[in-house]
Amino acid sequence: MKLYAPSTIKEIKEKYGFKISKSLGQNFLTDKNIIDKIIDAMELTERDLVIEIGPGLGVLTAEAAPQAGKVLAIEIDKNLIPILKENLKEFDNIEIINQDFVKTNLINLLEQNDIIRGQKREKVKIMGNLPYYITTPIIMKILEDRIPADSITIMMQKEVADRIKAAPGSRTYGALSVAVQYYCTVKDVAKVPREVFYPQPKVDSTVLRLDVRKERPVELTNENVFFACVKSGFGQRRKTLGNSLAGVCGLSKEEAQAALAEAGIDPVRRAETLSLSEFAEIANAVAAKCEKR
């Protein structure tokens, strides 16, 4: 059965009386080429554990399972669970979990799946065609909670992918770019036009593969201060750094200016011009001042 065919989706809707939920971001993929590109980009092996966010009808799940050790498919919509069980019944290495991914205890799940197919698990690879409204919280949950994932291959709204990939100086460069690029290297996998979904969304998509860095790209004395500086800098984009950094851990404007001078950064610059390493220099100078308070 071609799970991705629009005719199959219509049959499933009728057979199960299933109603597609707009509020859960249900836009199902109907293009086998895109499905193949996503699965190929993951470079799966039999010792990999795949965690899928929002399997929907199981189109990606069914392609990943034959290549992976095991797939944990986490779907929030209870109405999709009997459909997924039926669609994926030929596979014995898929566990369907009816949960909200954002609330799932991933560390517990990983502990329970340390051994797969009788062997020690090698890599943890996260994948998903994400509902647009929770893309950023989902990515940040995985990264900030330090979930020991090796890669995250996900489809998202094109504009969010553009922000993640953005380089300093570009209009789309912001706190999300800095945060994701701090934790990961970012690779483009595919551009996905809106026409390949059922129902058709109002936006185009992009698939990115984020490879979680084994080592941080910059040395930080205090990661929390780094993220506070990034947040503060981009939260007040129009302000110069001398002004926008005042307030981080209660620093005065003068102290913020002094920290910038110590980091060798001109206080009239704005956050969107700073590279990751310049942010790190600033954060370390600010952290030294915060410690003395």
Site for ligand SAM in 91-130 (CB under 6 A): 100-102, 129
Distance of CA 200 to the CA centre of its chain: 22
- Residues 19, 20, 23, 29, Cα dihedral to 10°: 170
- Closest distance between ligand SAM and the C-beta of residue 141, in Å? 10
Nearer to ligand SAM, 131 or 267 (CB): 131
- 3-state SS class at 267: coil
Q: Which is nearer to ligand SAM, 135 or 284 (CB)?
A: 135
Pick between residue 64 and residue 290 the one whose CB is nearest to ligand SAM.
64
Contact 125, 64 (CB under 8 A): no
For the bound state, the minimum distance from the C-beta of residue 187 to ligand SAM, rounded and expressed in Å, comes to: 20
3-state secondary structure of 7: helix
In the bound state with ligand SAM, the residue whose beta carbon lies nearer, of 128 and 242, is 128
Q: Residue 27 or residue 284: which is nearer to ligand SAM going by CB?
A: 27
Residue 56 Cβ vs ligand SAM, minimum distance, rounded to whole Å: 2
Q: Which of 12, 44, 51, 77 binds ligand SAM (CB under 6 A)?
A: 77
Which of the residues 220 through 239 are near ligand SAM (CB under 6 A)?
none
- Tell me the per-residue interface mask from 15 to 34 with ligand SAM, x by CB under 6 A, - otherwise: ---------xxxxxx-----
Residue 64 binds ligand SAM (CB under 6 A): no
- Selected from 12, 76, 88, 106, the binder of ligand SAM by CB under 6 A is 76
Q: Is 18 exposed, middle or buried (0-12, 13-18, 19+ CB in 10 A)?
A: middle
Task: Return d(Cα 42, Cα 209) in angstroms, integer.
Answer: 8
- In whole angstroms, give the CA distance from residue 229 to residue 246: 9
Q: Among 39, 42, 62, 74, which residue sits at the site for ligand SAM (rule: CB under 6 A)?
A: 74
Return the C-alpha torsion angle 276, 279, 283, 285, nearest 10.
Answer: 120
**Binder among 12, 41, 51, 75 for ligand SAM (CB under 6 A):** 75
- Comparing C-alpha atoms, which of 223, 54, 246, 32 is closest to residue 134? 54
Show the tokens assigned to 79: 């109405």
Residue closer to ligand SAM (CB basis): 134 or 245: 134
Q: In angstroms, what CA-CA distances link 170 with 5, 58, 173, 265, 266?
A: 39, 37, 5, 19, 19
Which single residue brings its beta carbon nearest to ligand SAM?
54
Interaction site with ligand SAM (CB under 6 A): 24-29, 53-56, 59-60, 74-77, 80, 100-102, 129, 131, 134
